[in-house]
Amino acid sequence: MTKYILLLSFLVQACTSGPSPDEARYIAIEHTNVVDVINGQLVPDQTVVIKDSLIHYIGDNWQGSGHHVEIIDGHGKYLMPGLWDMHVHVCWEQSNDSLVFPALLANGITGFRDMGGDLGIQDIFKSRVEANPAVGPEIFGAGPIIDGNPPMMVDFSIAVDDKIDIPHLLDSLVANGADFIKTYSLLRETELAKISDYAHTHLIPFAGHLSEYVEPEVAIDLGQKSVEHLNRLEEIWSENEARIGQIAEQMVEKQTWLCPTLIVYYLKAHLRDSSIIHPEYEANIHPLLKQEWQTSRENRLNRYDSVAWINQLALFERQKALVAFMHDKGVKLLSGSDFAGMPYVYPGIGLHHELFLLHESGLSNAEVLATATINPATYLSIQDKYGSVTVGKYADLILLDGNPLDDLENLGVIHILFRKGRKINR
């Protein structure tokens, strides 16, 4: 963890109502460098105009006379879309909006995909963010995880088997606000096939772990939209590289995405290293979660000897190589931190760490930025409104002091964040 880690000192300068006559209706960021995350290049000396919540104009000759305009000097600055963390667990505790949302915004995260939680809490969070986007990121969430019977984890899981009316269950989840279906590690093929049938009929995606009881090729053929983590894949990678190549080709053909969460494997390999613990960021962590982290670390330290830790480090290098292999084969990647799913993943900075690990795995800086911007928007089918600095899209933007295409650490030096046009200053 280096200088990209940010202290949480952002001040929200926004309100839920429209602008008063004395407030600027337009915000013009003049002479800035636009980071084009679609093409992986820089567009220099642009004026970007925000009107209300949207990007109104991009160019070099905007005539703003007659408008209430706030001018921001963009000389030497770099404007890019806000980041997305595509694997977090936030919607499990009602205080997480006040604890976690500031940390996410402070680190430039304007959207996230919640991979397992409580739909009631998710609905509360969505309502608060809809009323005032400056208080938190955009949210897409699954609610409870669907697993086999018995489930791997009791919390926020629903166990299913051949006795469960799966369409009725999924109807209930969707009616209560699930944006997609999260599938887990102990599902049997019969139940996964029923989930797949429902997903295709109702045009709602399912995503999650590869099950221990279903071959990856079967899950991909059934339409699993994203594979979370490297479970199953890393085992096959060690045993049969040719098969992984075939799976990668199948994922490309079926448009199945990979969210590798390399930070999970980094932390597993470095859990005995006290440098992964950052007390200065624990103000954003619920006390129950802090205790869970400590217990998990202690158990792992007691269970592993020195040889096992060396093996974990070697395994982590293989896991990075697997991600590089899948990427080179054309599998589309999403960046995710697994906050609250893995000990010592801190909200916000965990995603930055993931981006660095993707770069270490061989992705260029431009390719890394895509995994947290345009790729999430495309995956979620909201690329018409999110994911790039484009006229007509929401003004979820970060204005940086340095060029992230040159150095990813420049993502940690945020000058201003915009959340649907609301300005949030550091």
How many helical (H) and strand (E) elements, i.e. helices and strands, does the chain have? 13, 18
What is the amino acid identity at position 340? A
Residue pLDDT, tens place only, 30-69:
999 999 999 999 999 999 999 999 999 999 988 875 668 9
The three-state secondary structure class of 320 is helix
What is the amino acid identity at position 150? P
pLDDT at 426: 65
pLDDT at 425: 75
Task: Give CA–CA dist 253/238, Å, rounded.
Answer: 23
Report if pTM > 0.85.
yes
Torsion 99-102-108-110 (CA) sign: positive
pLDDT at 22: 45
Asked whether the beta carbons of 117 and 156 are under 8 A apart, the reply is: yes
CATH level 2 (architecture), domain 83-379? Alpha-Beta Barrel (3.20)
Structure tokens at 181: 């279906």
Of 357, 276, 350, the closest CA to residue 316 belongs to 357
Residue pLDDT, tens place only, 234-285:
999 999 999 999 999 999 999 999 999 999 999 999 999 999 999 999 999 9
Residue 189 parent element (H or E): helix 189-202
Task: Give CA–CA dist 101/112, Å, rounded.
Answer: 10
pLDDT at 5: 39
Task: Give CA–CA dist 322/181, Å, rounded.
Answer: 26
Give the residues of the chain that fall short of pLDDT 70: 1-24, 65-67, 426
Residue boundaries of the structural domains of the chain: 11-81+387-425, 83-379
Which residues, including other chains, have CB under 8 Å from residue 147's CB and lie 6 or more apart?
153, 157, 158, 159, 160, 183, 184, 185, 186, 187
pLDDT at 154: 87
Question: 11-81+387-425: which CATH number, 3.40.50.300, 2.40.128.50, 3.40.50.10800, 2.30.40.10?
Answer: 2.30.40.10
pLDDT at 24: 54
pLDDT at 309: 84
pLDDT at 23: 52
